[in-house]
Amino acid sequence: MPDASLNYTMINLNEANVTFKDLARELNIATSTVSRAFRGSPEISAVTRARVQKLAKELNYKPNALALSLSHSKTNTIGVILPELVHYFFSTVISGIEDIAYSSGYNIIIYQSNESIDREILDTKALFNHRVDGILACVSRNITVYDHFIAIQDKGIPIIFLIVMCPLMPVKFS
């Protein structure tokens, strides 16, 4: 049972997302002015910046994470590939990864390969397509082909292997 003394806020997923366009329309200013106000541009007066921030708070404006990731070339997302999730060890690993990642402003995408090279390859492709900033992987047992990890590393995505080393995988230090 939740602690009644804490303020829990329910997320209403049916609520329409407030955009810069919505804020601009309400304030009768240009969308670019709203954008500059959020960035703290010196071109925008303190009064206008305060009006934008006040309305954004009132309308519960939340930045679009996808749009931010495109503009910053960073998703703040880490991919995790584990062979299985049912063992206590791997659930403990996930818990530790999440604790550190969330406290550092990162999100986690977790894939389970089920000890299958085919699934592991699909998982690495999916993480690449999600534009993760890095991958933590525990390779499946009996895997002797590491081409999927080499391809990801060659695309500039850092990989940290948990538990085992990949003997055929070249190590790159940058």
> pLDDT (tens digit, 0 to 9) for every residue of the chain, 174 residues total?
455 544 444 444 445 688 888 899 999 999 999 989 988 889 999 999 999 999 988 888 887 766 666 666 788 999 999 998 888 888 888 999 999 999 998 999 999 999 899 999 999 999 999 899 999 998 877 777 889 999 999 999 999 988 755 555 555 555
Whether 67 is in a domain gets the answer no
Do 11 and 81 share a domain, yes or no? no
Whether 114 is in a domain gets the answer yes
Whether 170 is in a domain gets the answer no
Q: For the beta carbon of residue 68, count every other beta carbon within 10 angstroms.
A: 12
Point out which residues pair with 108 in neighbouring strands. 78
C-alpha to C-alpha distances, 143 to 24, 122, 128, 169, nearest whole angstrom: 54, 14, 20, 12
Can you say how many angstroms the Cα of residue 153 is from the centroid of all Cα atoms in its chain?
Answer: 18
Do 9 and 58 share a domain, yes or no? yes
Whether 171 is in a domain gets the answer no
Q: How much is the pLDDT for 11?
A: 47
Do 119 and 51 share a domain, yes or no? no
Whether 28 is in a domain gets the answer yes
* Tokens 């996930």, located at residue: 94
The one-letter code for the residue type at 94 is I
